[in-house]
Amino acid sequence: MIQLREIGTIVRLQIQRSSLKIGQKPHRVYDTSPLLSVEQLSVSPGGVIALLPDNRTAIDVHNTRHPHSQNAGPNGVSIGFTPNYAGMRERFGDHMTDGCAGENILIETGESLELSDLERGVMIRCSAAGADLRLGDILVAQPCVEFSRYTLRMPEAEKGSPEIKETLQFLEHGTRGFYATPSNHGEPLVVSIGDRVYLPQ
């Protein structure tokens, strides 16, 4: 029997209605306005869909069903942890609000978690579905130049500048978040704000 260790609860759910990178290379900037915060997400191996009032839905841009999908295989679902945001705010400032990195599921934990802590995946106890959602094959969401410019409040910073290089190094190893693959291959499972999150032991 799998042992589970509770690590926290979901405090934010969101989708990216379109890309957060605006403009043309090499002058693209990072824009958080396409983010949409919701109370529930429908999660499947193809990605996430926001469940809106009046039975409406909105598809995340990384979902395979999005008309302009940016799905690249492992990036259909993304997760993040609140201690990482605390660290980014301490270094870069209060504009680094929870969720600004664009992850779908933000988990409030009392500990910082690295990739090695997530090697057995993450388990979400879905209160609305009465079932558990297993997220496995965890990968680091590598930081990009555009997000680094956003963190520095330097939209014109050159890709190879010392400031960008230093910021990219700081944001490595999961600080910006992680990609995860849902294990449910049947009906999508609904994840809600307040759902408890566990690490299989």
pLDDT in tens, 41-74: 999 999 999 999 889 999 999 999 999 999 998 9
Q: What CATH number has the domain bearing residue 44?
A: 2.40.33.20
Terminal-residue alpha carbon distance, the chain: 10
Environment class of residue 136 by beta-carbon count within 10 Å: exposed (0-12), middle (13-18) or buried (19+)? middle
The total number of structural domains in the chain stands at 1
What's the confidence (pLDDT) of residue 27? Answer: 85
Query: Cα–Cα distance between 45 and 63 in angstroms, integer?
Result: 9
What's the confidence (pLDDT) of residue 186? Answer: 73
Predicted TM-score of the model (pTM): 0.96
- Per the domain annotation, does 199 fall within a domain? no
What's the confidence (pLDDT) of residue 2? Answer: 79
- Per the domain annotation, does 52 fall within a domain? yes
Token pair for residue 46?
């193809």
For residues 40 and 33, the answer to whether their CB atoms sit within 8 Å is: no
Query: Cα–Cα distance between 29 and 127 in angstroms, integer?
Result: 38
Environment class of residue 200 by beta-carbon count within 10 Å: exposed (0-12), middle (13-18) or buried (19+)? middle
- Per the domain annotation, does 61 fall within a domain? yes
Structural domain including 127 reads: 4-192
- Per the domain annotation, does 159 fall within a domain? yes
- Per the domain annotation, does 158 fall within a domain? yes
Q: Which residues of the chain have pLDDT under 50?
A: none
- Per the domain annotation, does 10 fall within a domain? yes
What's the confidence (pLDDT) of residue 132? Answer: 95
- Per the domain annotation, does 97 fall within a domain? yes
- Per the domain annotation, does 25 fall within a domain? yes
